[in-house]
Amino acid sequence: MHPATTFVLSHGLDIGSPIATGLAARGGRVAWLSDGSEAAATDLGATVARLDVGFASRAELEQAFAAAQARVGPPSQVVVSAIPRAGLRAQAIGSLAEDDWRAACGAAMKSVLYALQAAYTALAGRGGSVVVVGPSLSLAGAAQLVALSTAIEGQRGLVKSTARQWGQRGITVNWIAAAPRGLSPAFDGLPLPVKPDAVMVALGRPLDLASEIAPVIEFLGSAAGRVITGATLVLDGGEWMVP
C-alpha cells in the first residue's frame, strides 16, 4: 500500500506545520502550503515539502497545488486551516469596524472557500479526504472575538454543505474543532469562554497537534475513516462536550 499524500494549507496562524510534521512522521508524503506570514522560522526538516502560497483566489491555490504535486505527487488528502491574525483582536461588537470584519471574518471564509475549490480540482475523479481544522469557538462563542467566532462557524457550515455535494463523488469533508490554546499560543491571554464546571477539561489539557490530532486526520483519510463525512470532531480534550 502506497503512503498517503497530504497537502496541508495554512493561512494566518501556523496550525499547519505541526500537523504536517506529525503526518510525515507517520510515513506520509506531505507538502505544507503556507501564506508565509508565520513560516519564516519554522523548521520542518527534510520530510515535508514547503511552498509559500497566496490565498487571494482559487486560481492562485490551484497553481500552488500543481507545484506541490510536482514535489510530492497527487494528494489523497487536503488539510486546511485559515485563522487570520486580525481575528485575534479582542474588541466589543459595537466598536467592530467594517474593515476589521473583512480582515478577520471575510478573509477566513474566502480562504477556506478557495482551498475547498482547489482541493476539488485535485481530488475530482480520484476521491479523497478534506479536513478543515479550527478552534472550538463556534461551539460556545467568544464575547470579544465576534468576527473570528462567526468565521469559524461559517467555515464549519461550509464544510457540511460541501460534504453533501461531494459525498457521492468519493470526497469526504470533515471539521476538527480543537482547543484554541492547543492550536496556537496566540490564543493565550485572549478572553476565551470558560466553563463553570468543577472539572474544566476531561483530559486535563488540550490535545497536541502533531502527536494526537494528526493521527485522527490520517484516520479520516483511510478507507475506514472515509465513511465519515460532514462531521464535527471535537478534539479539545473534553472541554466542550457537544454534538
Residues 169-204 pLDDT 10s: 999 999 999 999 999 999 998 888 876 666 678 888
Please indicate, yes or no, if residue 241 is contained in any of the structural domains: no
| Domain coverage including residue 143 | 5-235
For residue 88, which phi and psi values (nearest 5 degrees)?
A: -95, 15
The pLDDT of residue 51 is 94
- Please name the residues in contact with 71: beta carbons below 8 A apart, sequence gap of 6 or more: 31, 49, 51
Helix (H) or strand (E) holding 11: strand 5-12
Residue 66 makes CB contacts below 8 A (sequence gap 6+) with: none
Structure confidence at residue 192 (pLDDT): 87
Question: Would you say residue 203 lies in a domain?
Answer: yes
Instruction: Note whether residue 29 is domain-resident.
Output: yes
* Residue 129 placed within a domain: yes
CA distance 20 to 37: 17
Count of structural domains within the chain: 1
Ranges in the chain, pLDDT < 70: 1-2, 37-43, 45, 195-199, 243
CATH number of the structural domain spanning residue 97: 3.40.50.720
Evaluate whether residue 243 is within a structural domain: no
Q: pTM of the full predicted structure? A: 0.94
Residue 242 domain-assigned (yes or no): no
Has residue 65 been placed in a domain?
yes
43 within a domain of the structure (yes/no):
yes
pLDDT of residue 1: 45
